[in-house]
Structure 1
Amino acid sequence: MATPRALGHAGAVSVTTEPTSPDDLARALDGTGYLADEGLASAAFLALRMGRPLFCEGEPGTGKTALAQALSESLGLPLVRLQCHEGIDASQALYDWDFPRQLLHLRALEASASASHTELDVDAVESSLYDRRFLLARPVLQALQDAPCVLLVDEVDRADDEFEAFLLEVLAENSVTIPEIGVVKAETPPLVVLTSNRTREVHDALKRRCLYLWLEHPDLARETAILRRRLPDLPEALAEQVAQAVHGLRGLDLLKPPGVAESIDWAQALQLVGARHLDLASATATLGAVLKYREDADRARDKLDALLAS
């Protein structure tokens, strides 16, 4: 792997392969199988060159998480992922101490002191317990240590206001303070991608720190192209039929409309059962690959004839 070289803009992310334009980045993403439109490629390019986090918002299944993964692969940077959830706090994102190893270390010191009939220096023992070797780096600290890298903060809308405030501080400084060790600061900032399914509104203060990108489901032509790219043996006619049917399903009042990942799963399932065309029998037999709720499947079955005829 080539030695990372810094981009020209101060604070920009250092990468192994430098895209020189949004089109250049789009081609790099295309090489990973991620088809980016002009707006997406421009937003990601600017986040990279300006050293700013990219806040991606949109419905589930529109490719937000996959974008971070594709950026990692196309730029030759490691991916560090922080999966947010209700109740997550700073310690789960930053670091913890390896208590079992600390305890073993303490017992070893006690045994050594007992064998040599010497008295332990309490301050020295305490200091040794908080050595870096006992530090368990969680995703945010790992990203600061491993930068340049891509830090994916997935589903930040599931976290609470306090965690947002913590993220805002870290993203502003690209550093954290560990009381027992000191300040850990990234020499070059990680490329941060935050995603939100908009289950709640994320505070303006965090959004202002970021470049914003709203992701829609792809149009029919792009979704067909994605299916052909991810499944090279998929017949073109079947790819078009699956994309058309999925777009029709998204127009129904479903609990969970299918995303691109479900489109790919459905097309692959149809391939595996030997379908050359999407008809009522093959669609019904493989519907579980694209719809994941019984109510959605029941509603779709009532509409399949119309969807497949369109």
Structure 2
Amino acid sequence: MSELPLPRSVEETQALLARGHYVADRALALVLFLSLIMGRPLFLEGEAGVGKTEIAKVLARALGRRLIRLQCYEGLDISSAVYEWNYAAQMVGIRLAEATGERDRERLSADIFSERFLIRRPILQALEPDMAGPPILLIDELDRADEAFEAFLLEVLSEAQVTIPELGTIRAERAPIVIITTNRTREIHDALKRRCLYHWVDYPDAGREREIVEARLPGIGERLAAEAVGFVQRLRREDLFKKPGVAETLDWATALGALGSSAVDPASVADTLGVLLKYQDDIAAMTPERIAALLAEEPSSNEAAANETATTEIATTETA
């Protein structure tokens, strides 16, 4: 499989994401373009569910690259993220060497700590050459891992290499495309951030969120898309423990469609609040009166602009 070229401009980057049904604003397309051209890791920070992880997935599909995902968690260590030795196979190798009378300890050590006994985990896999081009290495939710793991990543991000004591340094012929995400449950050390380009991924405005819904759910009706996005936009202004992200908007619109709703009404909202909100206190705060009040609110300026644009597009399409 031949390697597909990288985008040559911000506009091409935005179009590449759009082909994967990812609606990106210019600021995000710009920093992604610079990351690809400069060969620097991209550090994406923002609330959960705003589309940070999806960027890596769409990029891998659009460029025809392998996606290697390292999901971070508390206690993540080198043996899970980078490499470990196949101890069972090593023991078999030692027993076979003893059975054949091998007594040269230095040669035996070199043999059992060779690459044939090495188990490659995501980071080491990302340093391997690939005919389709360097893979996309997604280091997802880095804030869940320990600070000690951050320190280990510095060599990977700076030099595209890892050092294995028994083997030496393994360096990538071409550095992988690295995307790091964090939900900001804790601060990431400056030493790691300095090696990356940074972008805060915020909740989209009404216009862009409606574009996202219509791109990802092409069968949804215009009215349902507009009203669902409008309600979620107002809901995010409430004092909630966890505001719904774009992922929840898409799930909710899908749920409403599955229930046969063509518009948003108090009953459908009450029935499906568990799709939008994931904490009982937040759900309890959405009383029937509060839901009705949110539905009755006048659209904000960006909601009105989004609806006007959509109406214009429909009229233009019908006229054509």
Tell me the TM-score normalised to structure 2 length. Answer: 0.86
Aligned pair partner of 1:127 in 110, 127, 140: 110
- Give yes or no for contact 2:21–2:215 (8 Å, CA) kept in 1: yes
What is the aligned partner in structure 1 of residue 29 from structure 2? 41
Return the offset for 1:127: 2.6
What is the aligned partner in structure 2 of residue 57 from structure 1? 45
What is the aligned partner in structure 2 of residue 219 from structure 1? 205
| Matching of residue 86 in structure 1 with residue 86 in structure 2 | no
Q: Distance in 1 between matches of 2:102 and 2:238?
A: 75
Letter paired with 1:191:
I
- Give yes or no for contact 1:145–1:184 (8 Å, CA) kept in 2: no
What is the aligned partner in structure 2 of residue 288 from structure 1? 274
Return the offset for 1:284: 1.6
**Unpaired segments of 5 or more residues in structure 1?**
5-15
| Matching of residue 166 in structure 1 with residue 149 in structure 2 | no
Q: 87-96 or 34-43: which moved more?
A: 87-96
Q: How do residues 178-257 of structure 1 correspond to structure 2 at under 5 angstroms?
A: 178-257=164-243
What is the aligned partner in structure 1 of residue 265 from structure 2? 279
- Give yes or no for contact 2:22–2:55 (8 Å, CA) kept in 1: yes
Q: Distance in 2 between matches of 1:205 and 1:269?
A: 43
Return the offset for 1:238: 0.4
- Give yes or no for contact 2:6–2:36 (8 Å, CA) kept in 1: no
| Matching of residue 306 in structure 1 with residue 289 in structure 2 | no
Q: Distance in 2 between matches of 1:119 and 1:204?
A: 51
CA deviations 1:139-165 (Å, max 9, x no partner) are: 111111146011111112222332222
**Unpaired segments of 5 or more residues in structure 2?**
298-320
Q: Distance in 1 between matches of 2:242 and 2:85?
A: 40
Rate the CA distance shift 1:85–1:119 in 2: closer, same or farther, 3 A.
closer
Q: Distance in 1 between matches of 2:205 and 2:116?
A: 50
Q: Distance in 2 between matches of 1:160 and 1:72?
A: 27
Identity of aligned residues (%): 49
Return the offset for 1:98: 1.6
What count of residue pairs does the alignment treat as equivalent? 293
- Give yes or no for contact 1:58–1:214 (8 Å, CA) kept in 2: yes
Rate the CA distance shift 1:119–1:199 in 2: closer, same or farther, 3 A.
closer
Q: Distance in 2 between matches of 1:264 and 1:140?
A: 31
